Each structure stands twice: as C-alpha cells, then as structure tokens.
Chain A
Amino acid sequence: MTTMKIIAASALPTSAETEKVLQIANDAELAEIAASGALQGVERVELNFPKFTDGRAFSQAVLLRRRYGFTGDIRATGDVLIDQLVQMARSGFTSAVLAEGQNPEAAERQFARYRAFYQGDALEPRPHFAREAA
C-alpha cells in the first residue's frame, strides 16, 4: 500500500553512499535554496525532526514537492515515530528512518487505514471535493 521506504534505525546503512544527498535545516529558506540551484542533481533531501512534535519539516517537504518540483527521495530523519509516517508520506516524504525502538511492522499497518483524506496533499493534490466532482 505504501510507497514509502521505511528504514529501521538499526538497518541504516553506515557505509559511505554514492548518492548526492542534501540535508536541509528546519529553518533554512527553501526559496533561496531552490533559486540558488542547490537542488540540481540532488538525489535525496534529508529533513530532520528534532522532536516528533516539531512540524516544520512537513511544510518543507510539501513545498519541495509541490512548488520546487523536487522529484528525488525526501527522507525523514530524527525523532521519526510510526504514528506520523502517513502524514509524512502525504507531505511528500518517500523514505523515513525510524527512531530507536519503533516497530516497522506496526508502521506498515498505519498505511492501510484510511482510503482517502479531505484535503489535497503531495500524493494527490486535489481535495476530496474536487476528486468527487471529477
């Protein structure tokens, strides 16, 4: 059901990767980063959750997808808990590294619950009412 790659904390590869990765801080100005061309050729953007209750990275992911046309992987790092995975996927994240102690199987179950949501998101830009009307 989910197209999100969920990575257990213990399974995170430690070897140097060849991918071009850009880490974007929660307080970075996305418009400036995009305008500077820094997203060019980037395969993965990592957005951090310093605490799971700090929701700034949700907006950053939405803007990367919707406004700046970033098509590579957007990865959630930091305090990533399974009860926020669905909203991460809906905001445009395509991979997530779970915090210590999170159960990846319980994570999969979260994606099977809702068939649809009211508002548009990164996966389905149209709100429910627009989809119904179409």
Chain B
Amino acid sequence: MYQYTEFDQQFVKLRAQQFRDQLDRWQRGELTDEQLLPLRLQNGWYIQRYAPMARIAVPYGEISSRQLRMLAHIARDYDKPTPELLAHAQATQNELQAAQPGLTLAAEPLKYGYGHFTTRTNVQFNWIPITKAADVMDLLASVGMHGIQTSGNTIRNITCEAYEGIAEDEIVDTRPFAEIARQWSTLHPEFAFLPRKFKIAFNGSAEDRAATGWYDIGVQALKNAAGEVGFTVKVGGGMGRTPVIGSVVREFLPWDQLLNYIEAVIRVYNGYGRRDNKWKARIKILVKAEGQKFIDAVEAEYKAIVEQDGAPHTITQAELDRVRAFFVVPELKPANLPSGVKTDGALYQRWLQQNVSGHRLPGMRAVTLSFKRVGFAPGDADADTIDALAQLADQFSAGEARLTHKQNLLLPWVFESDLPALYEAARKLGLAQPNIGLLTDMIACPGGDFCSLANARSLPIAAALTERYQDLDEVFDLGPIDLHMSGCINSCGHHHSGHIGILGVDKDGKEWYQITLGGADGTHLSGPALAGKVVGPSFSASEVPDVIEAVLTTFRELRKPGEFFIDALRRIGHDPFKAAANGARHPKEAQEEALSE
C-alpha cells in the first residue's frame, strides 16, 4: 500500500497545525461559528446531535495495522462523552423513543468508544470533544491519516472497489490513479468551495463493485484494442432527494489525461453549478438540466486545458511508476497457526462460500470480516476489536486491511492454508457470521441516534432486522439481497441502490420509513445502477420488519428454483411485492391501543 513520503507526512502535520490555529482563534472569538464551519468541515469535523463527529479518511479503503491501532487508541481514549453529556443525550433519545407512533422498536442505549466504518470508506467517531480535536488530528497525522476534505463542499475522500490489486477480474489496478487523484485534490486552491460536495470513485475490474454510476465522477478503467490503459468517465450520478445515474461523458480517456479531464469537469461545475438551492447544487442537477451542452462545455474546457494551458497536470510515466511501486504485492508469509476447526462443518463451509473470495494470485484468498452482528450497529467496531483487527492484519494479511463499501473489513492477502485459523480467530471476535452479501449484511447510516441531519433512527431498524433474521438457513435460502437504509434523504446509507431500501422520513416530528424496491448499485448481481421505487406511504418503525418479512415471503412464494430476489422482482414486477408490503401495515386500532397504554 501507499507509504507517505516525507513531503506527505509533513503536509498532514502542517494541516493538523493549521486546524489547531483555527480552533484557537475560534475559541478566542476571532472566528465566528459560521466562519469556522467550513474550515472544520474541510477537516472532517461535524457538530452532531450531542457532540462533534470526526470523519477520518481512509483513501480508497486501504489501511495498515499501524493505522488501525491508532484508530483503536482514539476510540478508547477520546471517543468518550462526559457522564453529564451522556445522561443528557440518553434522556433526549428516550423522549424521542416515547414520542413514536404505534408499537415502536426497542432502542439500544447510546454507545461510545467505537469507530464506525462508512459506505465511503471513512471511519467516524461520535463523541470526541471539540477541545480534543486538534490533539486527535496530531495523532492521526503521526500515522499518515487525516480528515482533510471528508466533508464540506469539496472533493471528498476518493474511493475504489475493495478488491483492487487482488481481483480475479481485474483490468487495471486503479489504486495508483486514485492516490494520484487524492494528492491532486488535496487542498486544491480552486475547488475548496464548490456548489456542493463532490465524490469520485474508481473501479478497475470487469464488475463494477464501486457503484460508479452513483458518483459525481465514476471512473471505470479499461484497456483498448491496442492494450492501452484508459478510463470511461461517468459524470453526474448521485443520490439525495433526486437520484440520478451518471452519464458517460468519455468512453476512453487516456490514463495520463485523468487529472486534466477531472479539472475540466469540476471547473465547469464550479462556474455553472447552482448555488441558490442546496438541493439542486450537486453536479447531477447541472448534467441533467444541460445534457449535451454540459458535455460540450467540459470537452471545450478540457481542450483549452490541453491546448492553451499546456496541460500541466498530465500524469507522467515516471510519476505513475513511482506511485505504482507502492502497490506491488507485499511480502507474503503464511501464519501457519494451529487450528481445531472442523473444515467439513456446515458453518465453516458457509463462511468459505460467503466471506472468502477468489484472488488473482494462486493459493491466496481475500477474507471479509463481517461487521453485521447482533448487538452492534452495522460497521461499528469498539477499541478492542479494532486492536484485534490490527493483529489479524499482521498475522494473516501482510499488515493490510481494507474498509469496504458495505461497511465490513477485508483482509486482502490471506493464504488459503491459513483460512481455518483465521476463521477461528474471527469467530472468537464475533466477526465470522457467514452473511456477506446476504440480507443481514445490510448497510445503515448512524441515523437519528447521532446525526443531526437524520429524520429518523436507522439503528433500531437495523437491530430489529438483524435479530429477526438470525436463522442462517433462512438467510441462505433467501439468497443475496442488498438491504440499504438511510436515516434521511442525504442517503449516506445508499437506500436508493438497495434491492430493498429503507428511508427515514419525518412527519409531524415523528419517525416514519419509506420502503423502496428494485434499486441497484451496478454489480453483476444487481444489474446497471438504478434507483428503487417507493412501495407506498411510509410505515412506522414497528411495521418495517413485518413489511420486509411480507416482501420476502412473497418472494419465496413466487420465485423460480434458485432465482435471486432482485431477478424475481424484475421478472414478476413490483405489484405483488407492493401489495404484500402494504398488507403488512398494522391495524390502526392496534397502533392506537399501543399509544394509549
């Protein structure tokens, strides 16, 4: 993986210093809250319901054991509310819970001491006091980490699909390009105050596992007939209130033109993107409104960059070679640890089937540790678990791990012979549920437990569904299903792209949930990127698990042998599923009775 040069290292240190200076000036009253806001956002600091949230970038998901240990340290020693704050927060959440319509779902008490893995390969902490923010940034900088541009109207943390460099269907390893783009976008002077946030994703394999259709810029690597490397560039995808799939603006962009072309796209957006309405400010709205005119403007700007400006950001072969050298196969050694696992046992076999993937190197495997488990929010890891992850990475995966889009952690360099011992270790940590890609491998944002944008809590829904679907036979029988949920229309939980999507909405200060069906992220399983369709009026929290169950029961009744949920839905159409969903509404009387109790 990429190793920071002295320049990189110094850069993040200075960035941490700069942030400390800004916080100091804010505390002295020299910066207003409003003036600090974009500065802290550009360093990944939000102010949430009860405390600041720090969003730490893990560029293209790659993380070392050393960095994991630092995250564990921060979770343990800094992700802590004062007793007063926690008591206040819990009391407020209890009030929220008591105000819900109908029979509501149980809500876990608020937790602290956790890192949370996000769909965009960031790690979030929910309880670090702002007075400790500068110290935390210094600690992160010491291991080459930061929160630069993880928020704000900037070019955000750049993601790649999780299997770059190890995928069996790899075309080009895009990590070096993502790293070059990361450096280029970091503190870009021209593009720090865009109309809205801007997200870029790379995919280097035949299958799109990076949801590139859903990104402001989605970059798909390919090789032309002559074997030359280039990119298909999609622009204008995005979720939010108006889901849009990106349009292809370039079928084949030569690799060395990547930065020049992105510069052209973002410059056109910076000039013409709407700034009068937050909900219409993403590039998707500009692309949708202008269509071919937008593409023409980008091409004209790109041409001017090349012909008039001298294309200063053309990537040189030397630079590509320099960066690529960091992404060679690391030194691989089997752990050769003893294991008492019965390798012919059903559970182990299921784990092999769901959580272990093929590898482009013979004898090697990629293993996904599941962070979808009873008693934990999707993607949550406490300090001890993060420390244990670092150890697993060191023992079994050349010191490297990867955060995945689905909020799990992947070990990319595992010897096939080490699988039983790794399974045993993962099981002890509660990370060996064989549910990757299945219903319970659901995506969920932190929602109304923490996030001030949320309209509804997502974690009680995730918990209820996780508990309801603990029978592995049943989950295996249901087969692969993408279940995604977001606590508000900002769509951090990517509900639009779920085969089943759950969206929290607010009605009269109460939590309700919209259910969508048929969304797709762009994988082979899901088909081309597509937004799901709403099944009907929103449901109360307590209805949601029953609605999901009704939809899945209908699937089991109507499917052909071996047919997947998404395929059955497309073949049959939404109507019977919609009818089942709406039929699962709780009778009004039961809800009123529950309220009066």
A88 surroundings in chain B (CB, below 8 A): 189
Q: Is A81 an interface residue (CB 8 A)?
A: yes
- Check if A59 sits within 8 Å of B193, measured CB to CB: no
- Complex interface: stretch among B15-23, B98-106, B121-129, B501-509: B15-23
Q: Tell me the B175-229 residues at the A interface (CB within 8 Å).
A: 180, 183-194
Report the bound CA distance from A55 to B7 in whole Å.
27
* The residue from B25, B186, B191, B312 contacting A120, defined by CB atoms under 8 A apart: B312
- Check if A83 sits within 8 Å of B22, measured CB to CB: yes
- Check if B188 sits within 8 Å of A83, measured CB to CB: no
- Complex interface: stretch among A6-14, A37-45, A70-78, A125-133: A125-133
- Check if A55 sits within 8 Å of B192, measured CB to CB: yes
B325: min CB distance to chain A, Å: 13
B22 surroundings in chain A (CB, below 8 A): 83
- Check if A106 sits within 8 Å of B30, measured CB to CB: yes
- Check if A83 sits within 8 Å of B39, measured CB to CB: yes
B39 surroundings in chain A (CB, below 8 A): 83
Q: Tell me the B1-51 residues at the A interface (CB within 8 Å).
A: 7, 10-11, 14, 17-18, 21-22, 25, 30-31, 35, 38-39
B290 surroundings in chain A (CB, below 8 A): none
Q: Which residue of B lies closest to A55 (CB)?
A: B193
Report the bound CA distance from A83 to B18 in whole Å.
10
**How many residues belonging to B are interface residues under a CB distance threshold of 8 Å?**
43
Q: Tell me the B495-551 residues at the A interface (CB within 8 Å).
A: none
- Check if A66 sits within 8 Å of B309, measured CB to CB: yes
Report the bound CA distance from A58 to B154 in whole Å.
13
- Check if A81 sits within 8 Å of B270, measured CB to CB: no
B338 surroundings in chain A (CB, below 8 A): none
Q: Is B271 an interface residue (CB 8 A)?
A: yes
Q: Which residue of B lies closest to A125 (CB)?
A: B312
Report the bound CA distance from A119 to B184 in whole Å.
5
* The residue from B38, B186, B275 contacting A118, defined by CB atoms under 8 A apart: B186
A129: min CB distance to chain B, Å: 4
- Check if B316 sits within 8 Å of A54, measured CB to CB: no
- Check if B190 sits within 8 Å of A53, measured CB to CB: no
Report the bound CA distance from A15 to B580 in whole Å.
76
- Check if B25 sits within 8 Å of A106, measured CB to CB: yes
* The residue from B14, B187, B190, B308 contacting A67, defined by CB atoms under 8 A apart: B308
- Check if B187 sits within 8 Å of A53, measured CB to CB: no
Q: Which of A58, A81, A110 has the most CB of B within 10 A?
A: A58
Q: Is A121 an interface residue (CB 8 A)?
A: yes
Q: Is A4 an interface residue (CB 8 A)?
A: no
1/0 per residue, CB under 8 A from B, across A47-63: the answer is 00000111110110010
B380: min CB distance to chain A, Å: 33
Report the bound CA distance from A130 to B270 in whole Å.
26
Q: Tell me the B303-319 residues at the A interface (CB within 8 Å).
A: 304, 308-310, 312-313, 316, 318-319
Report the bound CA distance from A106 to B26 in whole Å.
13
Q: Is A116 an interface residue (CB 8 A)?
A: yes
Q: Is B559 an interface residue (CB 8 A)?
A: no
- Check if A117 sits within 8 Å of B187, measured CB to CB: yes
Q: Is B435 an interface residue (CB 8 A)?
A: no
Report the bound CA distance from A91 to B39 in whole Å.
18
B184 surroundings in chain A (CB, below 8 A): 118-119, 127
- Check if B267 sits within 8 Å of A59, measured CB to CB: yes
B24: min CB distance to chain A, Å: 10
A98: min CB distance to chain B, Å: 12
B1: min CB distance to chain A, Å: 19
Q: Is A2 an interface residue (CB 8 A)?
A: no
* The residue from A91, A109, A119 contacting B313, defined by CB atoms under 8 A apart: A119
1/0 per residue, CB under 8 A from A, across B396-438: the answer is 0000000000000000000000000000000000000000000
Q: Which residue of B lies closest to A129 (CB)?
A: B319
Q: Is B440 an interface residue (CB 8 A)?
A: no
B193 surroundings in chain A (CB, below 8 A): 52-55, 58, 84
Q: Is B153 an interface residue (CB 8 A)?
A: yes
Q: Is A23 an interface residue (CB 8 A)?
A: no
Q: Is B322 an interface residue (CB 8 A)?
A: yes
A44: min CB distance to chain B, Å: 21
- Check if A118 sits within 8 Å of B187, measured CB to CB: yes
B180 surroundings in chain A (CB, below 8 A): 129
- Check if B189 sits within 8 Å of A58, measured CB to CB: yes
* The residue from A106, A115, A118 contacting B183, defined by CB atoms under 8 A apart: A118
B194 surroundings in chain A (CB, below 8 A): 55
Q: Which of B18, B21, B271 has the most CB of A within 10 A?
A: B271
Given A52-B35, A83-B22, check contact A133 B316 (CB 8 Å).
Answer: yes
A48: min CB distance to chain B, Å: 13
Report the bound CA distance from A113 to B14 in whole Å.
7
Given A52-B35, A113-B17, check contact A129 B30 (CB 8 Å).
Answer: no
Q: Which of B10, B186, B189, B192 has the most CB of A within 10 A?
A: B189
- Check if A56 sits within 8 Å of B270, measured CB to CB: yes
A40: min CB distance to chain B, Å: 18
B187 surroundings in chain A (CB, below 8 A): 87, 114, 117-118
- Check if A87 sits within 8 Å of B17, measured CB to CB: no
Q: Which of A55, A110, A113 has the most CB of B within 10 A?
A: A55
B472: min CB distance to chain A, Å: 48
B271 surroundings in chain A (CB, below 8 A): 56, 59
B318 surroundings in chain A (CB, below 8 A): 129, 133
Report the bound CA distance from A117 to B308 in whole Å.
23
Report the bound CA distance from A121 to B187 in whole Å.
11
A58 surroundings in chain B (CB, below 8 A): 189-193, 270
A25: min CB distance to chain B, Å: 12
List of 5 A-B pairs having minimum Cβ-Cβ separation, nearest first: A55-B193, A87-B189, A90-B189, A129-B319, A118-B183
Known: A67-B304, A67-B309, A120-B312. 9 other contacts (CB 8 A): A59-B271, A62-B190, A83-B39, A90-B189, A113-B14, A113-B17, A119-B189, A127-B312, A129-B322
Residues of chain A whose beta carbon lies under 8 Å from any beta carbon of chain B:
52-56, 58-59, 62, 66-67, 81, 83-84, 86-88, 90-91, 103, 106, 109-110, 113-121, 125-130, 133
Can you list 17 pairs linking A and B with CB atoms under 8 Å apart?
A53-B38, A55-B190, A55-B192, A59-B190, A62-B190, A81-B35, A83-B31, A87-B187, A91-B190, A106-B30, A110-B18, A117-B189, A127-B184, A127-B312, A129-B180, A129-B322, A133-B319
